[in-house]
Chain A
Amino acid sequence: MNSEAIVTLQLTDLALAYILVLLTLALSRFQKLGREGELLWASIRMVVQLLAIGYLLDRVFAVNHPLAVLAILLVMGMFALQVIGSRVEEKMPGFYRIMGVSLTIGCGLVAFFFCGIIVGYGPWYSPRYLIPLAGMIFGNSINGATLAAERLGAEIRSQQVAIETALSLGATPRQAVQGPLRDAFRAALIPAANSMAAMGVVALPGMMTGQILSGTPPIIAVRYQIAIMCAITGCVALTSLLILLQGYRAYFNQSQGLVLPDRKGVGGSAANG
């Protein structure tokens, strides 16, 4: 598609690139960080995981079947869920169900709108489009979902007196948690807004860079980037709101009383709101 053929990296080139990781290890040792083992393990994981996903995607592209593509998306979603679960220290009751439902609906709707209507390629399952685009939407919703869940718990805990005062004056649970919901939603949207504001100036985004490297004219690559940023922002908002609207209910019992889960192994970093 382009006059210049893309430069293929050989395994020897990769070995050369790995020298930079070895340099990092050497510097870490020199500075007595004591983190060499961790760094080495992370770099090995990075190589193995990327090679594995590369071969897997190669197979899926070759098979070009909707079920294979959906299976890949499912695995991506599970990983996203696992990452969110490991980041949120204070999990509400029913955490994984709430997160799973919210991610599926939020990311699913946005991915459908983006891939099916905005980009409008065919067939809908075309792995070349669906996997990277849905993957980016999933991946970027992790931050928003984590913040939404974490801030909701922290805000409800810190605003316990306000919530119970409202309840005792006849407010519904939804009315009583209005403040925490608003604060948590605001927190969840901050990274998306920040990354939009920094886009193209502070950060040259990965997708755009990748497209340019593979020969797409920058003007086209930029259009894709603009569209995906809009999709990511919409997905973060939708997913976070779904998490909040389901999540607050987990903090109330049947008689509309506030129930705070026991804090287990919560470190000093949590609940500072």
Chain B
Amino acid sequence: MLTLQGVSCRSGNSVSAGTVLLQEISFSLERGEIAALFGPSGGGKSTLLRLLVRFLDPTAGEIRFQGSLLSEWEPRALRRKIGLVRQQAHMFDGTVLDNLQLPFRWLKQPPPDAQSPVLLEILDGCQLAPELLPKPADQLSIGQKQRVALARTLLQEPELLLLDEPTSALDRPTADQIGETLRLLRQQRQLGIMLVSHDLRQLRRLADRGLFLVDGQLVDQGPLPQLLDRPNAARLKEFLADPERDG
């Protein structure tokens, strides 16, 4: 579904200018697969996610999604297929329901109402009570906001979900529930998921494969949990010995 071949990215616009953000990244992700992107802070994880929704364009290499080069995708069409949920869950003005409906209005499509089965099913999966729908979104807790952000993206029915630290603000039971939701989504919809997280425990439970990114380079990758249990690369061993050091 998604392949990256020798992808590099630099800051600035020209190939010669700027600092290296990503260097020679190659990997692929299949439908229904959960890949964990992990590594020290500033290693390029968020940059990689930004490339996949075309907030940035690579300076070298190629990215293909569903067989087509990313540059051939119309950006808005691509962003409906590849949903991005960021660490800072932003709520727009209005109620929770307004927030869930807003993307439909932008796309000039009829939005689902509060009784819509699809909406209720997604709310349930994200551990959100329907009673929250008429509440002003800015009054929610951080954890609730993150779950509303996830529900808002899922309502767009993406085929690939990019999650940037989606559970960092949640307590462990809630984070585990979200993890369960992701596992179900993968099973039911054959959703591909790319998960950035510092929570190695969660990655170990959820992800099929790990991608270890340091200083813009993909230093090690492989199936989980083997990658974490028997790391090859020296940098990965160092990181696992003290994952909080750089983060």
A133 CA to B88 CA, complexed, in Å: 51
Contact across chains for B86 and A170 when beta carbons are under 8 A apart: no
Contacts A162-B90, A162-B92 known; A168 to B76 CB distance under 8 Å?
no
A172 CA to B53 CA, complexed, in Å: 14
Interface bits A16-48 vs B (CB < 8 Å: 1, else 0): 000000000000000000000000000000000
B129 contacts the other chain (CB 8 A): no
Q: Which residues of B contact A169 (CB under 8 A)?
A: 79, 102-103, 106, 152-153, 156
How many residues of B are in contact with the other chain, CB < 8 A?
A: 25
A72 contacts the other chain (CB 8 A): no
Q: Which residues of B contact A168 (CB under 8 A)?
A: 53, 55, 79, 83-84, 86, 153
Q: Which residues of A contact B102 (CB under 8 A)?
A: 169
Contact across chains for B79 and A257 when beta carbons are under 8 A apart: no
Most buried by B among A161, A162, A253, A255: A255
Contact across chains for A256 and B84 when beta carbons are under 8 A apart: no
CB distance from A248 to the nearest CB of B (A): 16
Contact across chains for B55 and A167 when beta carbons are under 8 A apart: yes
A158 contacts the other chain (CB 8 A): no
A166 contacts the other chain (CB 8 A): yes
B64 contacts the other chain (CB 8 A): no
Cross-chain pairs A/B with CB under 8 angstroms, 6 sampled: A162-B92, A166-B106, A169-B103, A170-B79, A171-B103, A257-B50
A180 CA to B92 CA, complexed, in Å: 13
CB distance from A253 to the nearest CB of B (A): 7
Q: Which residues of B contact A164 (CB under 8 A)?
A: 55, 86
CB distance from B71 to the nearest CB of A (A): 8
Return the contact of B55 from the options A162, A175, A257 (Cβ within 8 A): A257
A165 contacts the other chain (CB 8 A): yes
Return the contact of B57 from the options A175, A253, A258 (Cβ within 8 A): A253
A256 CA to B84 CA, complexed, in Å: 15
Residue of B nearest to A168 (CB): B84
Return the contact of A257 from the options B56, B90, B107 (Cβ within 8 A): B56
Residue of B nearest to A169 (CB): B103
Interface bits B39-61 vs A (CB < 8 Å: 1, else 0): 00000000000100111110000
Interface bits B87-110 vs A (CB < 8 Å: 1, else 0): 010101000000000110011000
Contact across chains for A256 and B90 when beta carbons are under 8 A apart: no
Leading 9 A-B pairs by shortest Cβ distance: A257-B55, A169-B103, A255-B54, A168-B84, A165-B90, A256-B75, A171-B106, A161-B90, A162-B90
Contacts A161-B88, A169-B152, A170-B80 known; A257 to B54 CB distance under 8 Å?
yes
Q: Which residues of A contact B88 (CB under 8 A)?
A: 161
CB distance from A204 to the nearest CB of B (A): 42
